[in-house]
Amino acid sequence: MSAIEAIKGTRDILPEEVGYWQRIEQVARDLLNRAAYREIRTPIFEQTELFARGIGEATDVVGKEMYTFIDKGERSVTLRPEGTAGVVRAYIENGLHVKGLQRLWYLGPMFRYENVQAGRQRQFHQLGCEVLGSADPRADVEVIALAMDLLAGLGLKDLRLDLNSVGDPADRQQYRQALVEYLTPYKHALDPDSQNRLNRNPMRILDSKNAETKKIIQDAPKIWDYLAPESRRRFDQVQQQLTDLNIAYTLNPCLVRGLDYYTHTAFEIVAETGLGAQNAVGGGGRYDGLVSELGGPETPAVGWAMGLERLLLLLQQLTSTPVIELDFYVVSRGEQAEAQALQLAQTLRRAGFAVELDLSASAFGKQFKRADRSGAVACLILGDDEAANGTVQLKWLGSGDQEALTQTDLLATVETLRHRLKDSRATMPN
């Protein structure tokens, strides 16, 4: 019988990688908690209409990439392709809009049927934050600053912040018309996707990766020239406040993001090295019309999302695999010794120590080899003699020093033990 394999576009996160994921999650959780953002957890699948209305039927995400199916209740259901629409649905449905400004963050798997490559899976993971209820440009700058601080907290470098304004709906309508007028004479020189977008979603052509199309759009009209005075003033404020925070940015008139709900500020953070063509690690912007589009009250909002798989690729290039710092490795042989070893390991764990118990019942020599490879600071050894006498051998793996203690004395000197472990770990080779 043949083995069953993971579906293309999904992958297992093995134990040697999990430390990286936990590091990202912990840094994010600490940072966002300090900024008064609260975690929200929404369902992995939603009504298809949520994404069709929220993201936009003309987008590639809705038109080509969603995992949509009919459930047993004859409802059209979609695995979430992004996090914002679900957060907004929860915001409306649970009456969060009556509780004032909401700072929210989320973390979890998303699903898009895309071409699989490094940093791009069909099941992928996003971390995102949203501010709902503030039209202040400072909210835009706050979320950008948090994103940059998160990446800095992970030790990531060689990142570039791209910034643009896509204006309000009236600004975009004027710009859309000018862009179509400019591109129409070049229609047959555009790549096929861009030809299809010309009348359906022309601003997405600005984001084309096709070399010939990119040449054509170099001289296309810039949206900045079509911003109304209020939109221009808002964009100027965002730039000034970023400058005041010493956050460098690059103006990018071709940055439009892939979702229809964006208004005014749009931004993207890209890795200038380490990721190749798929180099965006995160991005977002303002989406003042999305809450009302999904049936809620008029509510200004801004937020971002980051792809964890791409952060993982960058972290792996930067640091070695994070490992559990083991305090003790417990070896034992003999029925009575093995029973006592289990009790000793559990007691030490409950006291706050990291303990691995060898369960192999193999010869002491093999267990000692595993202890040496484990990275533990010390080894606790129980054999027939120790079991009979209620003692334990404590061996410091860095120095090789060994001493005999009663099990009672070992457990009675927890704080002394902590200090000895700390001192011994500091002298161990990396």
DSSP β-ladder status, 159-165 and 123-132: unpaired
261 is in an annotated binding site: yes
Residue 413 · residue 394 · CB < 8 Å: no
The three-point CA angle 374-377-381 to 5° equals: 80
Asked if residue 316 belongs to a known ligand binding site, the reply is no
| CB neighbour list of residue 126: distance below 8 Å, 6 or more residues apart | 82, 83, 106, 107, 108, 110, 305, 306, 307, 308
Element (H, E) at 396: strand 391-396
Rounded CA-CA distance 316/129 in Å is 24
Residue 256: strand, helix, or coil: coil
How far does CA 125 lie from the centroid of its chain?
6
Catalogue the E-assigned strands of 123-167. Answer: 123-132, 159-165
Say if residues 135 and 288 touch (Cβ distance below 8 Å). Answer: yes
User: Tokens 């640091």, residue?
Assistant: 319
Judge whether 257 is annotated as a binding position: yes
* Strands 76-79, 67-70: pairing kind: antiparallel
- Identify whether the C-beta of residue 367 lies closer than 8 Å to the C-beta of residue 360: yes
Is 80 one of the annotated binding-site residues? no
Residue 122: name the closest of 40, 8, 215, 34 by CA: 8
Q: Which tokens belong to 46?
A: 């939603």
Question: Distance (Å, rounded) from C-alpha 137 to C-alpha 222?
Answer: 22
Q: By the 8 A CB rule, do 107 and 125 touch?
A: yes
Question: Is 112 labeled as ligand-binding?
Answer: yes
**How many whole angstroms from its chain centre is CA 187?**
38
Structure tokens at 116: 């699989």
Question: Are 76 and 51 in contact, with CB atoms under 8 Å apart?
Answer: no
Establish whether 234 is an annotated binding residue: no
- Residues marked as binding for L-histidine? 82-84, 112, 126, 130, 257, 261-262
The annotation places the binding site at 82-84, 112, 126, 130, 257, 261-262
